[in-house]
Amino acid sequence: MRTIQTFVLRLLADTEEPQALRGAVRCVSDDEEQTFTDAQSLLALLRGVCQAADTDDVEQSPPPRLGKEMMSRK
């Protein structure tokens, strides 16, 4: 089944590191915001959201947090 989810993506630009990709993604439906520190963590965050949406019970399967715990698993 196809689902549509809407997000607000905020990119934080650093003039000293213009190639750095950092920011936050906010899910419009539940107003939850999660941060990312690079392209890999942004993709992991979006994949987690999509996988959670594919399950029958999205409420009990939230996307993974990309805090220090997630970053240390790389």
CA distance 69 to 50: 20
Residue pair 28/39 in contact (Cβ under 8 Å)? The answer is no
Nearest to 63 by CA among 73, 74, 41: 41
pLDDT tens, residue by residue, 3-47: 888 999 999 998 999 889 999 999 888 888 999 999 999 999 988
CA distance 29 to 22: 22
Domain residue spans of the chain: 7-58
Say what the pTM is: 0.63
Residue pair 23/11 in contact (Cβ under 8 Å)? The answer is yes
- H/E stretch holding 10 reads strand 7-11
pLDDT tens, residue by residue, 40-73: 999 999 888 877 766 644 454 455 555 544 444 3
